[in-house]
A = this chain, B = another copy of it.
Amino acid sequence: MSAADLVAVLLASHLRYDFKQPSNPANDHLIFSKGHAAPLLYAAYKAAGAIDDEEMMSLRRFGSRLQGHPTPTLPWVDVATGSLGQGLPIGVGIALAAKQLDGSPCRVWVLCGDGELTEGSMWEAFDYAASMRLDNLVVVVDANGLAQLGPARLGANPDLLVQRLVAFGWHVVDIDGHDVVEIDQAYAAATDPALTAVRPTAIVARTLKGKGVAAVEGKIGFHSRLLANPEAAIQELGGQRNLLIQVAKPDDDSNGQLRTGWTVASLTESTPPVLELPGYKKGDQVAVRAAFGEALSALGRIKDKVVVVDAEVATATYVDRFADAHSQRYFNVSIAEQLMVAIAIGLQVRGWTAFAATFAAFLSRAFDFVRMAAVSGVTLRLVGSHPGVSIGPDGASQMGLEDLAMFRAVHGSVVLYPCDANQMSQLLALMAEQEGVSYLRSTRAVLPVIYETSDQFRIGGSQVVHASEHDDVTIVGAGIALHEAMRAAELLEQHDLRARVIDCYSVKPIDAATLRAAARATGGRLVTVEDHWPEGGLGDAVLEVFGDVEERPRITKLAVSSMPGAGTQDQLLAAAGINAEHIAMAARRLCHTVARQDTPV
């Protein structure tokens, strides 16, 4: 209710949106960062004629598109909101794509609550949007001054808020959010180049929570509470009405085609007909992260929609290879992982094929954004470098030891973990075609190339890298641990034990058929090894494969079991209990304790 006047004036006079063609790239974007104001958004859709009375009354009912918070099950919603502090950062990504990549005339309108202004992600967005001079972005702050428990620290002090936004480089307009003339003038100012001076605009709208209904107006304690007397409230608000607003459509002649200039130029540059991935000679020593950088750059050459977002670590992730080759499609948001993911989502919303990469450990910073990307059903491609203890002396703060667990627990996600340069190239190419949330675990270490460039991989696949006719035990690994597993197989031969080694490069979905066949062929003896905490990673993914089937092998899971400190790669792999010697020991124990008849195999 505090933002109703703001939205009404926007729809009536400033928003340009064709509700019949939500996919028109010239449409403005309207994002409710304060997702809990969903009823107002749905009311706006009804006023625009996009939904009818019957659907309106299905709010929060089972099967309804009108959920408690907005999601893209509604075609006019770009991303799900409801976790505060996310709508604006993603809106910044959308505005960035529209202005710098698409050359679309559209504007991005974001309605923010004043409570969510205490989320740091909002200030990451304010900072970056100003630095990128996104004058096609308009933020409307519904400063009703009341959070759930009491005064909103900033909303209750709009002068302070204005001061901060100015300091962050924004064009700020301070208005009475219930004065329709002031609102209209503010929107006009937000779209006037002379006033914005290539700055994003923030409209600080001083409003009243529960505006228009005396029983709750400006009062605390009614957040997400039902009205005692809704009928009286409706009367107080002017009674039942059926306003229909003709929302202006975007000019068709500016239908979001690419701005002439670099973009078109880069498209016309001699684009190779097919993707030529960099190839590596079997046996060569190559840093897997370097192969990632090269493959990403190659992808950029053939796919002109590929864009990459970085958080100040391009030289460590090797994203710099892409940045050097395709500088206009590379965005470094600086050290701000939540923003990095939000920008990638925003670019993707505008139809770009976005990748974002940083240290695997620091992606944990953006887990809530990843979680919400799955709720949105948007495509999000993330790459994490420096996983596990194998990174060496930098210490535990830099080691990604929970990333596999984090990304496996994202609905519908794909989790890939290559072990050599050629496999990295191919999995990255597959990832570019993948929808939904996907994660690629890169590796800092220099490792021998074990695959030919001709070897083929697939999402959901695996590769048997070592096998004989009569194997005694199966060892399942991925990434650097796969190399330790191969070395363990050699150690085992000295004890007359033959190991079948499986490269489980697709951690999710996992290749259940191959794993089951291997378990059957190796007497129901299976060892998993991973450079990750024991919970939620590769080992658990393998256990899952055998939970509800007739033949259930005995599975020894090796993973990082103690908090790592300083040391070299080899010292830390040994201390973690995941090097070849530990794998061989576990395999031997299994072979000695598990007689074939012990298992149902």
User: Which residues of A are interface residues toward B (Cβ below 8 A)?
Assistant: 35, 59-64, 66-69, 71, 73, 80-85, 115-116, 118-124, 127-128, 131, 147-149, 152-154, 160, 163-164, 166-169, 223, 310, 312-316, 320, 332-339, 361-362, 364-365, 367-368, 371-372, 374-375, 377, 393-398, 401-402, 405-406, 408-412, 508, 533-537, 539-541, 543-544, 547-550, 552, 554-557, 563, 565-568, 571-572, 575, 598-600
Contact = CB atoms under 8 A, between A and B. Distances in A.
Given A375-B397, A540-B536, A336 B120 contact: yes
A131 B149 contact: no
Contact of A411 (B122, B374, B533): B533
Given A71-B396, A83-B361, A536 B533 contact: no
Contacts of A115: 312, 334-335
A395 B42 CA distance: 15
A71 B365 contact: no
Contact of A397 (B69, B116, B121, B396): B69
Contacts of A153: 127, 131, 334
Contact of A405 (B122, B312, B362, B409): B409
Contacts of A64: 565-566
Contacts of A149: 310, 312-315, 320, 332
Contacts of A123: 120, 123-124
B398 A148 contact: no
Contacts of A121: 120
A255 to B, nearest CB: 32
The interface centre, meaning the residue of A60, A223, A320 with most chain B CB atoms within 10 A of its CB, is A60
12 contacts: A62-B565, A67-B565, A68-B393, A68-B398, A71-B565, A118-B333, A120-B120, A148-B313, A365-B367, A372-B397, A405-B535, A598-B600
A291 B171 CA distance: 48
A544 to B, nearest CB: 6
B335 A566 contact: no
A480 B4 CA distance: 38
A394 B69 contact: yes
A375 B563 contact: yes
B312 A147 contact: yes
Contacts of A124: 118-120, 123
Given A118-B124, A336-B120, A536 B568 contact: no
Contact of A406 (B35, B365, B367): B367
Contact of A543 (B119, B337, B410, B544): B544
Contacts of A336: 118-120
Contacts of A81: 397
A394 B149 CA distance: 19
A364 B375 contact: no
B563 A374 contact: yes
Contacts of A406: 367, 402, 405-406, 409
Q: Which of A121, A393, A411 has the most CB of B within 10 A?
A: A411
A568 B62 contact: yes
Nearest to A169: B160
A24 B291 CA distance: 51
B394 A68 contact: yes
A68 B547 contact: no
Nearest to A66: B566
A80 B116 contact: no
Contact of A334 (B118, B333, B408, B549): B118
Contacts of A600: 552, 598-600
A145 B316 CA distance: 20
Contacts of A59: 566
Contacts of A371: 361, 364, 402
Contact of A335 (B147, B223, B549, B572): B147
Nearest to A568: B62
A249 to B, nearest CB: 30
Contacts of A541: 535
A534 B397 CA distance: 28
Contact of A368 (B163, B335, B364): B364
Contacts of A540: 535-536, 540, 543-544
Contacts of A320: 149
Contact of A554 (B166, B397, B539, B548): B548
The 3 closest A-B pairs by CB, nearest first: A120-B120, A82-B397, A62-B567
A191 B99 CA distance: 47
A132 to B, nearest CB: 11
A41 B559 CA distance: 32
B367 A362 contact: no
